[in-house]
A and B are shown apart, each in its own frame.
Chain A
Amino acid sequence: MISTGLFPYILGLSAFLFTVGAAGVLIRRNPLVVFMCIELMLNAANVALVAYGRFLNSQEGQIFAFMVIVVAAAEVVVGLAIITQIFRLGRELDVDDISELSE
């Protein structure tokens, strides 16, 4: 059984994973890696949810984390479909080049 004294460390790991993922979204230019960093951020949120649920004697954290996993799976499916379509159009895989919507 995990002791409650470890709770700050687990929240710290969650914050670390989230900020690393956010930094990756900002500095990487490959859209595939950007998607992986988004997965990293969602997992950081899941760690925090499950840790809070565990130490608050609640099950809601696990249920919410389950919903987050489902949403992440749906997001990956649509995002990878968009990336394959961009590749099929003969474009280079670089998020700086794919900026039609911001112009």
Chain B
Amino acid sequence: MNVLVAVAMALAAISSLGVVLSRQTIYSALSLVVTLAMVAVLFLLLNAQFLFAVQLIIYAGAVMVLFVFIIALLNPEAEDRPALDWRAFVGLAAVAAVTILVFVAAGNGITYNNNGFRALALQGACTTLNAGPCDPYHTFSFPVDAVNAAGNVQTVAGQLFTTYLLPFEITSLLLLVAIIGAVYLTRRAVRP
């Protein structure tokens, strides 16, 4: 399982570099398809089966087909490769620095046990605020085994249509606005 995670993460990282560094736009799009598919594999390994399907259908399917259509329609020219001057090295150093910082922070600032995990900063707050015995490991009410027993799609849909119903409806309104905007933008101009 860990080997699978490592392979998916390595492929996602390499193909994300391909998105930025490819000179041809179509190669960028194909690299992005690989990245999105590998992110979908990570979703599956992170026990998000519903999002795995959504990621493949909407992102790797619909959105990337739209991208490839537009690339075929517009046929943009290949870009010149950006020169390797000091700005490129500053950018590379920034990418490496942010990645290493987040990795170190996630490795050191968070402690784990079998019940869950918590940020270290919460440790003191737990002992001072609560007089009685308290479990410093904050856990939510959806442990993986219970979710898998009930079904991932069922639990996600159950929360989506009860607790998060209002954001869900607002999202549908957003999609409607996007449809109207796209139709308005791509219509032929009316001659006066």
Contacts and interface: CB of A to CB of B under 8 A. Distances in A.
A3 interface: yes
Contacts, number: 238
B66 A59 contact: no
A50 B51 contact: yes
Interface string A31-64: 0110111011001001100110111111110110
B67 A20 contact: no
B68 to A, nearest CB: 10
Nearest to B172: A70
B186 A81 contact: yes
Q: Output the residue of A37, A63, A72, A82 with the most chain B CB within 10 A.
A: A63
Contacts of B28: 32-33, 36
Interface string B17-51: 10110000100110010011001001101111011
B95 A33 contact: no
Given A1-B1, A23-B91, A50-B46, A74 B174 contact: yes
Interface string A6-22: 11111111111111110
Given A17-B16, A81-B185, 19 more contacts: A1-B1, A1-B47, A5-B112, A9-B5, A12-B102, A17-B12, A17-B13, A20-B19, A33-B79, A37-B19, A39-B36, A59-B140, A59-B142, A69-B55, A72-B59, A76-B63, A81-B181, A84-B73, A93-B76
Interface of B: 1-2, 5, 9, 12-13, 16-17, 19-20, 25, 28-29, 32, 35-36, 39, 42-43, 45-48, 50-51, 54-55, 58-59, 62-63, 66-67, 70-71, 73-74, 76, 79, 82, 88, 91, 94-95, 98-103, 106-107, 110, 112, 116-117, 138-144, 147, 155-156, 159-160, 164, 167, 171, 174-175, 177-179, 181-182, 185-186
Interface of A: 1-21, 23-24, 26-30, 32-33, 35-37, 39-40, 43, 46-47, 50-51, 53-60, 62-63, 65-67, 69-78, 80-85, 87, 93
